[in-house]
């Protein structure tokens, strides 16, 4: 069963609804001690990096997630801010991230022709053969910060062009992250979440 972390910084209901539409059972998790009941976890997120990190720490989810991911080696999916929290930190704030992925999240470079935040549908160029056969790759983005542009290719699952090329999907062992919102990406998001579930939970 999939658990969705409810820490006050994410579209938990939308994520749960999307899993329901594709026939995958999920539950909201409001207590960190309940993480052990689940085979996979989704960490959604909207808003500022520091706010998300502090909420996870104050609610007890921070240490519980470290146990789940680092010790138990169970799969986790981060969405938007949830993915950004996987990194060491962010240029947006001063709080430390989980450090599961190297580097700091960075802001889009300012440009007269580039609207920030990046708020639109955009394509993802998937690098892994486990995802390249998806029938469509158009997803909905809302963000002003992104994963490090120079991220080691071993962690890059997909890239997107918006003024500059940036990693829009990351993956390393049991850790997966999407900068875009699959729960808002209609049939494309449904297919992608099905694939993540198949790869990490039904293997």
Query: Tell me, what CATH number does 86's domain have?
Result: 3.40.50.880
Q: Look at strands 156-162 and 125-126 and give their pairing.
A: antiparallel
Using one digit for the tens of pLDDT, what is the confidence trace for 151-176? 999 999 999 999 999 999 999 999 99
Which of these, 147, 141, 45, lies nearest to 90 by C-alpha position?
147
Residue partners of 181: CB distance under 8 A and separation at least 6: 11, 14, 79, 80, 139, 140, 141, 142, 189
Catalytic residue (one of 9, 118, 146, 183): 183
Q: How many domains does the chain have?
A: 1
pLDDT reading at 146 higher than 90: yes
Whether 95 sits among the annotated catalytic residues: the reply is: no
Catalytic residue (one of 80, 118, 143, 200): 80
Which of these, 185, 184, 139, lies nearest to 162 by C-alpha position?
139
Whether 200 sits among the annotated catalytic residues: the reply is: no
% pLDDT > 90, the chain:
92
Decide: 137 and 82 in contact? Cβ < 8 Å. no
Whether 181 sits among the annotated catalytic residues: the reply is: yes
Catalytic residue (one of 118, 143, 181, 200): 181
| Residue 201 C-alpha from the chain's centroid | 16
Domain of residue 7, residue span: 2-200
Q: What is the pTM of this model?
A: 0.96
């Amino acid at each position: 069963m999939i658990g969705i972390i409810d820490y006050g910084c994410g579209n938990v209901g939308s994520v749960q609804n999307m899993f329901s539409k594709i026939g995958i059972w999920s539950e909201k998790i409001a207590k960190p001690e309940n993480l052990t009941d689940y085979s996979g976890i989704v960490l959604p997120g909207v808003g500022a990096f520091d706010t998300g990190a502090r909420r996870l720490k104050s609610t007890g989810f921070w240490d519980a997630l470290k146990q789940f991911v680092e010790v138990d080696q169970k799969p986790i999916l981060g969405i938007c801010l949830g993915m950004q929290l996987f990194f060491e930190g962010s240029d947006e704030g001063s709080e430390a991230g989980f450090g599961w992925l190297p580097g700091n999240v960075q802001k889009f470079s300012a440009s007269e022709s580039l609207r920030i935040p990046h708020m639109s549908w955009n394509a993802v160029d998937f690098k892994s053969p486990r995802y390249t056969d998806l029938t469509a790759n158009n997803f909905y983005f809302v963000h002003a910060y992104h994963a490090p542009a120079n991220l080691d290719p071993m962690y890059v699952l997909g890239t997107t062009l918006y003024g500059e090329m940036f990693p829009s999907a990351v993956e390393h062992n049991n850790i997966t992250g999407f900068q875009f919102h699959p729960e808002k990406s209609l049939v494309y998001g449904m297919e992608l979440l099905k694939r993540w579930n198949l790869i990490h939970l039904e293997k």
